[in-house]
Amino acid sequence: MNATELTMRADVAAAGGWYAGLIKPAWNPPAWLFGPAWTVLYVAMAAAAWLVWRQGGWRSHRVALALFALQLLFNLVWSPLFFRMHRPGWALLDCALLAVSLAATLAAFWRIDRRAGALLVPYLAWVCFATFLNFTIWRLNRDAVSPPPPPGPAAHGLVAEEPAAPAALADTISRATHTQQEE
């Protein structure tokens, strides 16, 4: 089990019933596949970065390695956006940025060492698939998807009922005013 799998498991656990309640396509991979897939992809990513690094390091390949770091950042951000913050739309944007930055990384690595670029091809394929999956889940659930409640007294059960939403409150005031005017 690698760090990404541990983080993803923690994020999925934090999502609670939210993720389980989402509508997913029939072609959604089984949960057990993600750990082994990410393990293989991270080994390939590390090998690719090492091949580039050993050919001059940061001094010689600053742009290629900076692109690698950027795509890694987008990779890291996706899971909390999707699972912890319940924001599949934002996660989709992150996924798209990950795919673009990864394609740029692959091209930069390819120019330095074709083996390094080739090692990133399965990762790019997986990210493109994940982006389409994220889009599909977002589309299937866009009316039902809502972020978790903000932390505060209501989130901890300390308030008996949550305050009315502004639209509902405005509607109640409007009806009360309208009723008074009719009397």
| DSSP track, 53-75 | HTTTHHHH-HHHHHHHHHHHHHH
Where do the structural domains in the chain lie, given as residue ranges? 3-148
Please state the rounded mean pLDDT for residues 143-162: 54
At 160, the pLDDT band (50, 70, 90 cuts) reads very low
For the entire predicted model, the pTM comes to 0.72
Half-sphere exposure of 98 (CA within 13 A, CB side): 26
The helix-helix angle for 62-79 and 31-53 (nearest 10°) equals 160
**C-alpha torsion sign, points 114, 117, 119, 124:** negative
At 8, the pLDDT band (50, 70, 90 cuts) reads low
Please state the rounded mean pLDDT for residues 5-17: 60
Top-confidence residue, 128 or 152: 128
Q: What's the CATH fold of domain 3-148?
A: Ferritin (1.20.1260)
Top-confidence residue, 18 or 2: 18
pLDDT at 104 (0 to 100): 98
pLDDT at 141 (0 to 100): 94
Judged against a pLDDT cut of 80, whether residue 172 lies above it is answered with: no
Q: How many residues does the chain have?
A: 183
The tokens describing 13, both together, are 């656990």
pLDDT tens for 54-102 read 998 888 999 999 999 999 999 999 999 999 999 999 999 999 999 999 9
Maximum separation of any 2 CA atoms in the chain, in Å = 85
pLDDT at 15 (0 to 100): 56
